[in-house]
Protein backbone atom coordinates (compact mmCIF):
# COMPACT_ATOMS: atom_id res chain seq x y z
CA UNK A 1 0.00 0.00 0.00
CA UNK A 2 0.92 3.65 -0.20
CA UNK A 3 1.18 4.20 3.53
CA UNK A 4 1.60 2.43 6.85
CA UNK A 5 -1.45 0.32 7.56
CA UNK A 6 -2.56 -0.68 11.04
CA UNK A 7 -5.29 -3.00 12.20
CA UNK A 8 -7.62 -3.09 13.92
CA UNK A 9 -8.36 0.62 14.00
CA UNK A 10 -10.37 0.12 17.17
CA UNK A 11 -10.32 -2.70 19.70
CA UNK A 12 -12.39 -3.01 22.85
CA UNK A 13 -11.45 -5.85 25.15
CA UNK A 14 -12.02 -7.04 28.66
CA UNK A 15 -9.39 -6.81 31.34
CA UNK A 16 -7.23 -9.93 31.37
CA UNK A 17 -7.65 -10.76 27.68
CA UNK A 18 -4.78 -10.84 25.20
CA UNK A 19 -4.76 -8.53 22.17
CA UNK A 20 -2.71 -8.48 19.01
CA UNK A 21 -2.17 -5.36 16.93
CA UNK A 22 -0.83 -5.46 13.41
CA UNK A 23 1.30 -3.07 11.40
CA UNK A 24 2.04 -3.21 7.66
CA UNK A 25 4.95 -0.84 6.96
CA UNK A 26 5.61 0.96 3.70
CA UNK A 27 7.23 -1.44 1.24
CA UNK A 28 11.01 -1.14 1.34
CA UNK A 29 11.16 0.50 4.75
CA UNK A 30 13.59 -1.46 6.87
CA UNK A 31 12.97 0.29 10.18
CA UNK A 32 9.74 -0.03 12.14
CA UNK A 33 8.69 1.57 15.41
CA UNK A 34 5.84 1.05 17.85
CA UNK A 35 4.67 3.90 20.07
CA UNK A 36 1.96 4.23 22.67
CA UNK A 37 -0.05 7.42 23.09
CA UNK A 38 -2.37 7.79 26.04
CA UNK A 39 -5.22 10.27 25.81
CA UNK A 40 -3.88 13.81 25.73
CA UNK A 41 -0.29 12.64 26.16
CA UNK A 42 2.82 12.49 24.00
CA UNK A 43 4.20 9.47 22.22
CA UNK A 44 5.97 6.81 24.31
CA UNK A 45 8.54 4.70 22.49
CA UNK A 46 7.91 0.98 22.84
CA UNK A 47 10.11 -0.98 20.44
CA UNK A 48 12.23 -0.50 17.31
CA UNK A 49 13.09 -2.99 14.56
CA UNK A 50 15.87 -2.33 12.06
CA UNK A 51 16.27 -4.95 9.35
CA UNK A 52 17.54 -8.22 10.76
CA UNK A 53 19.25 -6.63 13.76
CA UNK A 54 18.13 -7.42 17.30
CA UNK A 55 15.19 -5.15 18.17
CA UNK A 56 15.51 -2.32 20.67
CA UNK A 57 12.95 -3.34 23.31
CA UNK A 58 13.97 -0.72 25.85
CA UNK A 59 10.57 1.01 25.80
CA UNK A 60 8.36 -1.99 26.53
CA UNK A 61 6.65 -1.21 29.86
CA UNK A 62 6.33 -4.77 31.14
CA UNK A 63 6.78 -8.41 30.15
CA UNK A 64 3.13 -8.46 29.14
CA UNK A 65 4.18 -6.55 26.02
CA UNK A 66 5.98 -8.21 23.13
CA UNK A 67 6.43 -7.57 19.45
CA UNK A 68 7.61 -9.52 16.47
CA UNK A 69 8.64 -8.69 12.96
CA UNK A 70 9.72 -11.10 10.29
CA UNK A 71 12.35 -9.56 8.06
CA UNK A 72 11.16 -6.22 6.69
CA UNK A 73 7.48 -7.08 6.64
CA UNK A 74 4.52 -7.06 8.97
CA UNK A 75 4.92 -6.53 12.69
CA UNK A 76 2.60 -7.56 15.47
CA UNK A 77 2.43 -6.05 18.94
CA UNK A 78 0.96 -8.41 21.53
CA UNK A 79 -0.33 -7.36 24.92
CA UNK A 80 -1.07 -10.22 27.29
CA UNK A 81 -3.46 -10.07 30.23
CA UNK A 82 -4.52 -6.53 29.36
CA UNK A 83 -5.04 -3.97 32.10
CA UNK A 84 -7.12 -0.79 32.03
CA UNK A 85 -3.88 1.23 32.04
CA UNK A 86 -3.07 -0.30 28.63
CA UNK A 87 -5.90 1.74 27.08
CA UNK A 88 -4.25 4.00 24.52
CA UNK A 89 -3.63 4.50 20.84
CA UNK A 90 -0.81 2.31 19.57
CA UNK A 91 0.99 3.94 16.65
CA UNK A 92 3.29 2.22 14.22
CA UNK A 93 5.80 4.06 12.06
CA UNK A 94 8.26 2.97 9.40
CA UNK A 95 11.25 4.63 7.81
CA UNK A 96 13.67 3.77 5.02
CA UNK A 97 17.14 2.32 5.55
CA UNK A 98 19.09 4.47 7.98
CA UNK A 99 21.97 4.94 5.55
CA UNK A 100 19.87 6.96 3.17
CA UNK A 101 17.02 8.40 5.16
CA UNK A 102 16.62 11.69 6.92
CA UNK A 103 14.89 10.15 9.90
CA UNK A 104 11.33 10.96 8.80
CA UNK A 105 8.86 8.59 10.37
CA UNK A 106 5.80 7.66 8.39
CA UNK A 107 2.98 6.87 10.79
CA UNK A 108 -0.08 4.73 10.49
CA UNK A 109 -3.41 5.94 11.80
CA UNK A 110 -3.03 3.92 14.96
CA UNK A 111 -4.96 1.22 16.77
CA UNK A 112 -7.15 2.53 19.57
CA UNK A 113 -7.28 0.02 22.40
CA UNK A 114 -9.88 0.26 25.15
CA UNK A 115 -9.64 -2.14 28.07
CA UNK A 116 -12.84 -2.35 30.09
Partner 1 sequence: KNQVEQSPQSLIILEGKNCTLQCNYTVSPFSNLRWYKQDTGRGPVSLTIMTFSENTKSNGRYTATLDADTKQSSLHITASQLSDSASYICVVSAVTGGFKTIFGAGTRLFVKA
Binding site for partner 1 (CB under 8 A): 4, 31, 33, 35, 40-43, 45, 50, 91, 93, 95, 98, 101-105, 107-110
Closer to partner 1 by CB, 41 or 62: give it.
41
Decide: helix, strand or coil at residue 62.
coil
CB of 19 to partner 1, least distance (A): 19
CB of 6 to partner 1, least distance (A): 8
Closer to partner 1 by CB, 50 or 66: give it.
50
Counting Cα atoms < 13 Å in the Cβ hemisphere of 98 gives 7
Long-range contacts of 100-103 (CB under 8 A, 24+ apart): 101/31
For residues 35 and 92, give the distance between their C-alpha atoms in angstroms, rounded to a whole number: 6
Amino acid sequence: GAGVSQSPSNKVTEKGKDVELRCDPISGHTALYWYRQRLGQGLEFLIYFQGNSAPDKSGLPSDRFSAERTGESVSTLTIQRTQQEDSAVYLCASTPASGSNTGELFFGEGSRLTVL
